[in-house]
């Protein structure tokens, strides 16, 4: 697989940027961490990752302040030109707030922070993110969030289903649907219509070694180099 140049954003309150650096370097890729006040992305970026954490302390609403950071204008332009963007957890929230992905992330249905290893079912593989998986495959990936309840209106959701934009759903170990945080239709990950912007609440960068409970995140992140 080819070596990629991975750009990883950093906001005040981000806490997963160096986990993400480690994960991509483990796969042999080059990484650059970019502070939120920068106005341009490094030239030759093959993938921009908006990592997890609590940008701006999740004040107002998760991701709602970070989406106005200077670097996000560059991310929007990059995505608009077909550049690949991956948002993980808080990064997913930021991408919905920036209207790079449809829908919104609300407070978990039970109003509690959820942190555990969770089973996910792969829904679509015709994309750069999940191209190394089979449809219906069941994975184990850690989750850690308070605002992971994905919501979108019914009309948009039906369009997303038809367009293959629903990528991952929460499930049990047998692949049966499972309510985890109240997400509509148990959605855990999506992409945009053009399939170059991806968002998910689970943390693939924390599922890189079996000793830590799962290495299913390896194939997720490797997918970009295989596309």
The tens digit of pLDDT for each residue in 102-149 reads 999 999 999 999 999 999 999 999 999 999 999 999 999 999 999 999
The tens digit of pLDDT for each residue in 141-173 reads 999 999 999 999 999 999 999 999 999 999 999
Domain span at 61: 5-226
Q: Do the beta carbons of residue 12 and residue 36 sit within 8 Å?
A: yes
* Neighbouring residues of 28: CB distance < 8 A, sequence distance ≥ 6: 1, 3
CA distance 112 to 134: 32
pLDDT of residue 184: 98
Tell me: pLDDT of 211 over 80: yes
205 is catalytic: yes
The catalytic position among 17, 97, 124, 205 is: 205
Average pLDDT over residues 77-100: 98
CA distance 221 to 193: 20
Average pLDDT over residues 53-78: 95
203 is catalytic: yes
Residue environment code for 145-178, b if the CB has 16+ CB neighbours within 10 A, otherwise e: bbbbbbebeeeebeebeeeebbbbbbbeeebeeb
Q: What is the CATH number of the domain that holds 209?
A: 3.40.50.880
Average pLDDT over residues 168-197: 98
- Report the residue count for the chain: 227
Q: Domains in the chain: how many in total?
A: 1
Q: What is the mean pLDDT of the chain?
A: 97
pLDDT of residue 227: 87
* Neighbouring residues of 199: CB distance < 8 A, sequence distance ≥ 6: 86, 87, 88, 91, 92, 95, 96, 101, 189, 190, 191
Q: Is the pTM of this model over 0.85?
A: yes
Tell me: pLDDT of 1 over 80: no
112 is catalytic: no
pLDDT of residue 113: 97
CA distance 76 to 102: 14
User: Which 3 state secondary structure label does DSSP give 33?
Assistant: strand
pLDDT of residue 164: 97
60 band by pLDDT with thresholds 50, 70 and 90: confident
The catalytic position among 16, 89, 171, 191 is: 89
User: Which 3 state secondary structure label does DSSP give 19?
Assistant: helix
Q: What percent of the chain has pLDDT over 90?
A: 97
């Amino acid at each position: 697989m080819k070596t990629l140049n991975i750009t990883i954003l950093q906001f005040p309150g981000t806490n997963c940027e160096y986990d993400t650096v480690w994960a991509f370097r483990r796969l042999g890729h080059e990484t650059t961490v970019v502070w939120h006040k920068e106005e341009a992305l490094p030239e030759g970026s093959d993938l921009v990752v908006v990592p997890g954490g609590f940008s701006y302390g999740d004040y107002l609403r998760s991701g709602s302040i970070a989406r106005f950071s200077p670097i996000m204008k560059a991310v929007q332009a990059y995505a608009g030109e077909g550049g690949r963007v991956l948002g993980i957890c808080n990064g997913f929230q930021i991408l919905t707030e920036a209207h790079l992905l449809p829908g919104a992330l609300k407070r978990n249905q039970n109003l509690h922070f959820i942190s555990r290893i969770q089973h996910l079912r792969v829904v679509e593989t015709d994309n750069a993110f999940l191209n190394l998986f089979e449809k219906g495959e069941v994975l184990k990936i850690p989750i850690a969030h308070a605002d992971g309840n994905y919501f979108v209106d019914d009309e948009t959701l039906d369009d997303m289903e038809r367009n293959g934009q629903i990528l991952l759903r929460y499930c049990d170990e047998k692949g049966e649907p499972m309510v985890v945080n109240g997400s509509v239709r148990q959605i855990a990950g999506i992409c945009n219509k053009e399939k170059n912007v991806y968002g998910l609440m689970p943390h693939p960068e924390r599922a890189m070694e079996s000793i830590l409970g799962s290495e299913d995140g390896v194939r997720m992140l490797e997918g970009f180099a295989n596309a």
